[in-house]
Amino acid sequence: MEIVSAISLWFIPVMIAFILIYGTYKKVPTYESFVEGGKEGIKMAVSIMPFLVGMMVAIAVFRASGALDVMVGWIRPSLEMVGIPAEIVPLALIRPISGTAALGITSDLIGVHGPDSFIGTLAATLQGSTDTTFYVLTVYFGAVGIKKMGDALKVGLLADAVAIITAIIVVTFMF
C-alpha cells in the first residue's frame, strides 16, 4: 500500500519532468508549445459552460423538489429483494447522475456506519469504482459539440449497473 500511495504522489511531478526533458531533448520550443496548448484549455472550459449549466440545473431541480427521494423510495423495495442493502440504494441511484451528491452521500454513510463497516466499505468501493456517467457525457460530448449521442447513454448506464452489482458482490465476499 505504501508503494501505491507513493506512486500516486510521484506520478504527476515525474510526468511533468519527463515531458519537459524529452521535449527539450527533441528541440521542441517548450514554452511556446505550452502556451499554444494552454490557449485551447480556455476555449474548452468556456464551451463546456452551457452544457454543464443545463444539466446541473435540471439535476438540482429534480433533487430539490423531492422527486428524486420519491423515485428512490419506489425503486428501493425491488432492489432490496435482490439483496442490495437499503442504506446503499440512494447512493447507487445517484452515483451516475451527480458526482457531488454521491460524494456527499458516501461521506455521510461512512460517517454514520464507520469507515471499516460493511456499509462504509461498500459505499467507498461504489464511489471509487464508477464515474458520473452524466457528467462525463455532458463534458466530453459538450466540449466537442456532439449532439447525437447514439447508444452512449444506454451503454454508460448499463455499465454503471454492472459496476454497482460487482461492488456489492466483491465487498460481500471480502467481508
Partner 1 sequence: MVNYIWVVMILIGLGFAMVNGTMAEVNEAVFSGAKEAITLSIGLISILVFWLGMMRIAEDSGLLSKLSTLFKPLISKLFPEVPSNHPAMGYILSNMIANMFGLGNAATPLGIKAMEELKELNGGKNEASRSMITFLAINTASITLIPTTVIAIRMNYDSANPTDIVGPTLVATAVSAVAAILIDRFFYYRRSKKG
Give per-residue burial for 138-160: e unless 16+ CB within 10 Å, then b.
bbebbeeeeeeeeeeeeebeeeb
Cell 460530448 sits on residue:
141
Touching partner 1, residues 129-168 (CB under 8 A): 129-133, 136-137, 139-141, 143-156, 158-160, 162-163, 166-167
Touching partner 1, residues 117-136 (CB under 8 A): 120-121, 124-133, 136
Report, in Å, the least distance between residue 86 CB and partner 1.
Answer: 20
Give the range of 12-20, 74-82, 83-91 binding partner 1 by CB under 8 A.
Answer: 12-20
Task: Kindly give, in sequence order, each residue whose CB lies less than 8 Å from that of residue 76, ignoring residues fewer than 6 positions away.
Answer: 86, 89
Of 72, 75, 79, 103, the one binding partner 1 (CB under 8 A) is: 103
Q: Taking CB under 8 A as the rule, which mask of x and - marks residues 39-78 in contact with partner 1?
A: xxxx-xxx-xx--xxxxxxxxxxxxxxxx--x--------
Asked whether position 14 contacts partner 1 by CB under 8 A, the answer is no
What does DSSP assign to residue 87? G
User: What is the rounded distance in angstroms from the CA atom of residue 93 to the CA atom of residue 95?
Assistant: 6
Number of residues counted as binding partner 1 (CB under 8 A): 100
Asked whether position 82 contacts partner 1 by CB under 8 A, the answer is no
Contact by Cβ (8 Å): 86, 120: no
